[in-house]
């Protein structure tokens, strides 16, 4: 494998990791506040549909992005209503949200566009364009650093850069602000937060809203950045890979960056080499596709480090009376 | 003292939840510009209006009974087995291996052997998440989700690289031997001179599913193991205090649960397709979650809920055929049923409890 191929694979990994990273950070906010979210997949799917539909109708990816956030947010609200207000089972609510998105997107898509659940392909201005960073073209010929800057770092859509910026931002919010401190506390010991006079309900709803926004970004990137339009079931399990990455990252923002990069890289390699030959062994692409899940199970098993979820995760908070 | 009479808890709450789910489904149909009444008529006519419709409805019901029981059994031990999809897929692999590689002369021998194969593979697929939950404390929901994907990848690999007959393009196994063909209900009806459900896939597995309901009832409420499962599900510290070993119960419960999910394969793989196809489960594992929630984890409830979903599935297919409503409507209905009977249960329950309390107070004074 030469240098140019390596750059291409890394470039593809960056594109593929972006929705994973956004969804992973979305899950991070939600789960750090003590609300398990296995509905990331559904929220992304809904956002992908609403963003593609609005981007097609208006011709503006930015309006599409807003619609994506709105679509994902609506599902977040249902999740909050079920798991916070009515103290229902968060896992069951997540399962329901995944199905709701999977059915509603096709139902609405068929009603509006009549293409069997697809949206029409977005052309030109309906998609997020690739941004060429300054001096990318003039630096291309510099050995080694040139191609890395021009082909790997430059030339992505705005949402890719937003996703990467979200990592330090999330770290800062979680570990350097009062909101972040309370958010982490409410995921570990909600009763103490309540005793301190801070509303558990409001904090958890805030976390779920942030989760909705980030899933909206992830879905919009899938439909209007990575591809050109919505296709039925286009998230294809990415929400679950993001969930796996979140566990892999032990619920930490910087680790999330590495975990999603690893999983994006695996997908990029599987796409490029359907049958990867390493010496005498041939690794089938199915194995590469399953590897994120296998790695997560190993991490969960605690053989390599220990993944400890927020202590109050999954428990609805009931105030003693 | 309970806040509500038992009948309100067991029958009234799920019925109200179901009604809410259906009402919102009707609104969804209205929103896409179709008539809910026409949709309902088409579904009832298509799924229950003829023996042909019933044949398909009962075929789907059989699938959902197995996956619903799988979720229900695990739920009694407070384990949420979301991996029915993967376990049923692996059960299919078990059935295929048994039928393709063992010389089985007659279906009456092939069926029990295939059941063992299906249950073993399904149980084996549930074993690792169970062990991780019991020994390492890894959350079973996450591990079973991961195992669904690993199962899909494994099956894909096995079908493409091992079981696919030479020269064939689609990723599916060879046909099973003719001798292992399961009697369809229509053949059984014809044998006693009744013309019922011609060309429908419902087969003898339907009776196996009913037997499974009975056995699960015996297991959960009439056996020592069932008592231990329920005790652990209610309170782990209390169960430990009573001398129940959580590790053992978690493992056994998940093996039974996975085995039940795997047994679905005798219906869809052995009874219907008669070869192993990619994605043979078609989401039945997930519908099991809705079925168990709707049926309150009781075998009778599971059977009725499976029948309801069998009706929805077959009716949904008819909708796509005769109206312009896509098949995906049933996924929305399924989502709403899970949402209202599962996650939003308290939304229905709390006002009802208040109502019954106030009725009782008025009765006392």
Scan residues 113-132 of B and list those with Cβ closer than 8 Å to A.
128, 132
- Residues paired with A275 in a beta bridge: A284
Model confidence at A321: pLDDT above 60: no
Instruction: Kindly state the average pLDDT of the residues B334-358.
Output: 87
Strand-strand pairing, A156-157 and A130-131: antiparallel
What is the distance, to the nearest Å, from the Cα of residue A228 to the centroid of all Cα atoms in its chain? Answer: 18
Predicted model pTM: 0.90
User: Do A33 and A314 touch, CB atoms closer than 8 A?
Assistant: no
Q: Which residue has the tokens 């004074």?
A: B365
Q: Point out which residues pair with A277 in neighbouring strands.
A: A282
CB contact under 8 A, B336 and A91: no
CA dist B276 and B269 (Å) reads 6
CB contact under 8 A, A300 and B142: yes
Residue of chain B with shortest Cα separation from A290: B150
State phi, psi for A19 to the nearest 5 degrees. Answer: -65, -35
Residue pLDDT, tens place only, A138-191 = 777 777 777 777 777 888 889 999 999 999 999 999 999 999 999 999 999 999
What's the confidence (pLDDT) of residue B76?
A: 95
Helix (H) or strand (E) holding A278: strand A275-278
| pLDDT computed for residue B364 by the predictor | 67
**pLDDT at B59 > cutoff 60:** yes
In the numeric block, which tokens belong to residue B23?
A: 């009402």
The answer to whether the beta carbons of residues B311 and B57 sit under 8 Å apart is yes
Closest to B25 measured CA to CA, from B343, B319, B352: B319
Radius of gyration of chain B (CA): 21
Using a CB-CB distance cutoff of 8 angstroms, which residues of chain B are in contact with residue A286? Answer: 153-154, 156-157, 160
Task: With a cut of 50, say whether residue A278 has pLDDT above it.
Answer: yes
Element (H, E) at B59: helix B51-76
pLDDT value for B2:
66
Share of chain A above pLDDT 90, in %: 47
Residue A44 pLDDT > 90? yes
Q: Is the pLDDT of residue B179 over 50?
A: yes
User: What are the backbone angles phi and psi of residue A283, rounded to the nearest 5°?
Assistant: -100, 115
pLDDT at A309: 79
Give pLDDT, residue A35: 92
Rounded to a whole number of angstroms, the distance from the CA of B179 to the nearest CA of chain A is 34
Domains in chain A, CATH or no CATH each: 3-301 (1.10.3470)
The angle formed by the CA atoms of residues B33, B35 and B41, to the nearest 5 degrees, is 150
Instruction: Supply φ then ψ for residue B118, to 5 degrees.
Output: -65, -45
With beta carbons under 8 A apart, name residues in chain B contacting A284.
157, 161
Of A19-28, A113-122, A166-175, B104-113, the poorest mean pLDDT is in A113-122
Residue-level pLDDT at A250: 87
Rounded CA-CA distance B142/B130 in Å is 11
CA distance B151 to chain A (A): 9
B335 to chain A: which residues are within 8 Å by CB? 96-100, 102-103
pLDDT of res. B325: 85
In DSSP terms, which residues pair with B172 in a beta bridge?
A: B277
Which band of pLDDT confidence, cut at 50, 70 and 90, is reported for residue B193? Answer: confident
Mean pLDDT taken over chain A: 88
Q: Which of A252, A307, A243, A254 has the alpha carbon at shortest distance from A40?
A: A243
Q: In Å, how far are A209, A320, B233 from A311, measured between CA atoms? A: 21, 19, 20
B329 neighbourhood in chain A, CB within 8 Å: 103, 107
pLDDT at A7: 87
CB atoms within 10 A of CB A140: 13
Q: Taking residues B60-67, report their average pLDDT.
A: 96
Is the model's pLDDT at A116 over the cut of 80? no
Tens digits of per-residue pLDDT, A193-245? 998 999 999 999 999 999 999 999 999 999 998 888 899 889 888 998 898 88
Taking CB atoms and an 8 Å limit, are B342 and A88 in contact across chains?
yes
Q: How far apart are CA B112 and CA B99, in angstroms?
A: 11
Q: Give the pLDDT band (50/70/90) at residue B1.
A: very low
pLDDT band at residue A316 under the 50/70/90 scheme:
confident
Contact B33 A38 (CB under 8 A): no
Scanning B156-215 for CB atoms below 8 A from A yields 156-157, 160-161
Q: To the nearest whole angstrom, how far is the Cα of B235 from the nearest Cα of chain A?
A: 15
Q: How many CA atoms lie within 13 A of A78 on its CB side?
A: 26
Residue A103 banded pLDDT, cuts 50, 70, 90: very high
Of A82, A284, A297, the CB nearest to B143: A297
Three-class secondary structure of residue A130 per DSSP? strand
Residue to substitute from B156, B339, B345, B349, interface A, most A β-carbons within 10 A: B339
Helix (H, G, I), strand (E, B) or coil at A121: coil
Cα four-point dihedral sign A157, A160, A166, A168: negative
The residue ranking higher by pLDDT, B364 or A13, is A13
Who has greater pLDDT, A125 or A266?
Answer: A266
User: What is the number of helices (H) and of strands (E) in chain A?
Assistant: 13, 4
Q: What distance in Å separates the CA atoms of residue B224 and residue B211, rounded to the nearest whole number?
A: 20
Asked if A83's CB is within 8 angstroms of B331's CB, the reply is: no
Partners of A116 on chain B (C-beta within 8 Å) are: 326
Please say whether the beta carbons of A143 and A136 come within 8 A.
no
| Banded pLDDT at B131 (limits 50, 70, 90) | very high
Residue A55 has pLDDT above 50, yes or no: yes
Q: Mean pLDDT, to the nearest integer, of B2-26?
A: 85
| Residue A33 pLDDT exceeds 90 | yes
Partner-chain contact A96 B343, CB within 8 Å: yes
CB contact B63 to A (< 8 Å): no
Q: Per this entry, what is the length of chain B?
A: 365
Q: Is B219 helix (H, G, I), strand (E, B) or coil?
A: helix
Interface-testing mutation among A286, A287, A321, with chain B (most B C-beta atoms within 10 A)? A286
B335 touches A at CB < 8 Å: yes
Q: Cα(A146)–Cα(A200) distance, rounded to whole angstroms? A: 50
CA distance A238 to chain B (A): 11
Mean pLDDT along residues B296-302: 93
Cα B319 to Cα A141, A175, B18, B45, distances in angstroms: 60, 53, 20, 10
Q: Which helix (H) or strand (E) holds B230?
A: helix B224-234
Residue of B nearest to A232 (CA): B328
Res A127 pLDDT > 50 = yes
Task: Please give the ipTM for the structure prediction.
Answer: 0.89
Asked if the C-beta of B106 comes within 8 angstroms of chain A's C-beta atoms, the answer is: no
pLDDT, tens digit (0-9, with 9 covering 90-100), for A66-97: 999 999 999 999 999 999 988 888 888 998 99
Tokens linked to A31:
């789960």
Give how far A160 is from chain B: nearest CA, Å. Answer: 27
Instruction: Provide the token pair at A21.
Output: 């990273």
Q: Is the pLDDT of residue A305 over 70?
A: no
Chain A residues lying within 8 Å of B325, measured CB to CB: 107
Asked if B342 lies within 8 A of A93 by C-beta distance, the reply is yes
- pLDDT band for position B54 (50/70/90)? very high
B78 shares contact with chain A (CB less than 8 Å): no
- The predicted pLDDT at position A200 comes to 92
Distance, in Å, from the CA atom of B185 to the CA atom of B206, rounded to the nearest integer, reads 9
Q: Is the pLDDT of residue B247 over 50?
A: yes
Sorted by where each starts, the structural domains of chain B and their CATH numbers stand as 59-306 (1.10.3470)
Instruction: Answer whether residue B330 shows pLDDT above 60.
Output: yes
CB nearest to B82's CB, from A95, A284, A287:
A95
- Write down the pLDDT at residue A304: 62
In angstroms, the separation between the Cα of residue B59 and the nearest Cα of chain A is: 22
SS3 B277: strand
Half-sphere exposure of B197 (CA within 13 A, CB side): 22
Q: Average pLDDT of B40-55? A: 91
């Amino acid at each position: 494998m030469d240098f140019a191929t390596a750059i291409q694979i890394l470039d593809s990994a960056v594109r593929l990791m972006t929705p994973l990273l956004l969804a992973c950070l979305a899950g991070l906010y939600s789960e750090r506040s003590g609300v398990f979210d296995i509905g990331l997949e559904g929220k992304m799917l809904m956002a992908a549909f609403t963003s593609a539909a609005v981007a097609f109708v208006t011709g503006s990816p930015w309006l599409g992005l807003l619609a994506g956030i709105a679509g994902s947010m609506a599902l977040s609200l249902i999740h909050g209503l079920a798991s916070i207000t009515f103290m229902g089972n968060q896992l069951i609510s997540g399962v329901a949200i995944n199905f709701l998105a999977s059915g509603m997107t096709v139902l609405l898509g068929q009603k509006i566009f009549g293409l069997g659940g697809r949206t029409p392909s977005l052309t030109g201005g309906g998609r997020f364009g690739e941004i060429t960073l300054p001096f990318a073209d003039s630096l291309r010929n510099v050995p080694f650093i040139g191609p890395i800057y021009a082909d790997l770092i430059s030339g992505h859509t705005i949402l890719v850069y937003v996703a990467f910026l979200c990592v330090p931002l999330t770290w800062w919010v979680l570990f350097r602000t009062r909101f972040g401190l309370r958010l982490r506390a409410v995921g570990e010991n909600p009763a103490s937060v309540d005793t301190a006079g801070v509303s558990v309900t409001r904090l958890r709803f805030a976390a779920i809203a942030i989760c909705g926004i980030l899933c909206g970004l992830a879905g919009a990137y899938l439909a209007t950045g990575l591809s050109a339009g919505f296709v039925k079931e286009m998230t294809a399990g990415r929400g679950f890979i993001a969930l796996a990455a979140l566990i892999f990252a032990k619920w930490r923002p910087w680790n999330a960056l590495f975990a999603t990069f690893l999983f994006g890289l695996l997908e990029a390699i599987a796409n490029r080499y359907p049958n990867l030959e390493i010496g005498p062994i041939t690794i089938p692409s199915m194995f590469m596709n399953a590897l994120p899940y296998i790695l997560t199970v190993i991490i969960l098993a605690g053989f390599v480090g220990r993944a400890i979820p927020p202590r109050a995760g999954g428990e609805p908070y009931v105030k003693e009376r | 003292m309970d806040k509500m009479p038992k009948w309100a808890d067991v029958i009234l709450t799920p019925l109200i939840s179901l009604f809410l789910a259906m009402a919102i489904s009707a609104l969804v149909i209205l929103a896409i510009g179709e008539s809910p009444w026409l949709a309902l008529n088409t579904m009832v006519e298509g799924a229950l209006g003829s023996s042909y419709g019933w044949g398909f409805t009962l075929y789907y019901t059989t699938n959902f009974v197995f996956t619903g029981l799988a979720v229900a059994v695990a739920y009694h031990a407070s384990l949420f087995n979301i991996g029915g999809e993967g376990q049923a897929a692996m059960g299919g692999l078990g059935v295929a291996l048994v039928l393709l590689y063992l010389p089985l002369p007659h279906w009456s021998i092939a069926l029990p052997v295939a059941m063992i194969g299906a249950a073993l593979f399904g149980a084996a697929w549930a074993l690792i998440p169970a062990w991780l939950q019991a020994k390492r404390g890894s959350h079973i929901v996450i591990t079973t989700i991961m195992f669904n994907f690993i199962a899909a990848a494994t099956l894909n690999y096995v079908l493409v690289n091992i079981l696919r007959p030479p020269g064939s393009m689609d990723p599916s196994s060879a046909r099973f031997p003719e001798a292992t063909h399961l009697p369809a209900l229509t053949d059984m009806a014809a044998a006693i001179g009744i013309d019922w459900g011609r060309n429908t896939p419902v087969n003898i597995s339907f009776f196996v599913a009913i037997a499974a309901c009975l056995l699960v009832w015996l297991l959960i409420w009439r056996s020592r193991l069932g008592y231990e499962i329920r005790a652990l599900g209610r309170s782990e510290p209390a169960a430990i205090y009573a001398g129940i070993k959580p590790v053992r119960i978690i493992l056994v419960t998940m093996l039974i649960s996975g085995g039940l999910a795997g047994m679905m394969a005798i219906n869809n793989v052995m009874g219907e397709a008669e070869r192993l196809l990619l994605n043979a489960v078609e989401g039945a594992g997930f519908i099991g979650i809705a079925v168990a929630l709707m049926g309150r984890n009781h075998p009778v409830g599971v059977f009725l809920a499976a029948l309801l979903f069998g009706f929805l599935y077959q009716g949904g297919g008819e909708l796509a055929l005769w109206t312009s409503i896509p098949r995906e409507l049933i996924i929305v209905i399924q989502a709403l049923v899970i949402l209202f009977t599962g996650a939003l249960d308290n939304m229905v329950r709390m006002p009802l409890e208040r109502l019954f309390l106030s009725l009782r107070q008025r009765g006392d004074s």
